[in-house]
Chain A
Amino acid sequence: MPYHEMMVKPMREEVTRHGVTELRTVADVDAALGPGEGTALVFVNSVCGCAAGGARPALALALAHAVKPQQLYTVFAGQDLDATARARSYFADFQPSSPSVALLRDGEVMHFIHRHMIEGRAPQVVAADLVAAFDKYCSPQSAAKSE
């Protein structure tokens, strides 16, 4: 059952304030991820205290890096159920967990961070993992290599 919106609003804003677009409907998700062009990050937000409390600061730290995905999206697991299920269909090879992060390039999953990779790790460590993926898959040089 979803939590009261008043409770999750700060958790949404902790992500969207960094320029991440929230996808709240199936139509939002399809419009964003359907074209499957370029690089896109999907942050699956969550109330989960043991991991999400570290995942959101990690995302914020990573997005301060010079290289980052062209498109930044988030869905909220347990809250926006249909939108989250639809977003997960774009990375269906990976079992659902939240929080989690998918990095896609031209519609293909290039890097995935599961909840078990976030739990118990400092935000700086998770951010470093994300930044390494950004450098590997989102830099102009990496795009040129894949052409």
Chain B
Amino acid sequence: MTVVVESPNGVAWVGRYHERTDRGVLLHDVAIHDPTSADQTRDVWIQRLLKFGIRIDQKHVVVPDAEASRIVRLQEWKPSTS
């Protein structure tokens, strides 16, 4: 299942959910959006992923549990309203 994992500091990961353990959330085939270096907003970035697919930045990622503040299926993701 392809999910969006969001962190409190604004970083987002999109990838195939494998499992959640004490170490964190394990994702495969992951695209990463870091607002400190990205040239587009997270909403625009995810909308592009929805249309054109996932450009893989890392094959595997473990998102530390404390950073995984929200997990939602990519197909159910909605742009932020704020």
Contact = CB atoms under 8 A, between A and B. Distances in A.
The A interface is mostly helix, strand or loop, or mixed, namely: loop
Contact of B52 (A50, A93, A117, A119): A93
Interface in A90-116: 93-97, 100, 112, 114-116
Given A120-B73, A120-B75, A114 B53 contact: yes
Interface string A107-147: 00000101111011100000000000000000000000000
Interface string A23-52: 000000000000000000000000000100
Interface residues of B, number: 12
A117 B55 contact: no
Interface string A81-96: 0000000000001111
B52 A115 contact: no
Q: How large is the interface on A (under 10, 10 to 19, 20 to 34, 35 or more residues)?
A: 10 to 19
Contacts of B51: 112
Contacts of B54: 95, 97, 114, 116
B47 interface: no
B38 interface: no
Contact of B53 (A50, A97, A119, A120): A97
A106 B1 CA distance: 33
A95 B51 CA distance: 9
Contacts of B73: 120
Interface string B12-55: 00000000000000000000000000000000000000111111
B52 A120 contact: no
Nearest to B2: A116
A96 B73 CA distance: 19
B74 A116 contact: yes
B74 A94 contact: no
A94 B53 contact: yes
B1 A120 contact: yes
Interface of B: 1-2, 50-56, 73-75
Ranked nearest first, the 8 interchain pairs of A and B with the lowest CB-CB distance are: A95-B53, A116-B2, A116-B74, A114-B53, A94-B53, A95-B55, A119-B1, A94-B52
17 contacts: A94-B52, A94-B53, A95-B53, A95-B55, A95-B56, A97-B53, A112-B51, A112-B53, A115-B2, A116-B50, A116-B54, A116-B74, A116-B75, A119-B75, A120-B1, A120-B75, A121-B75
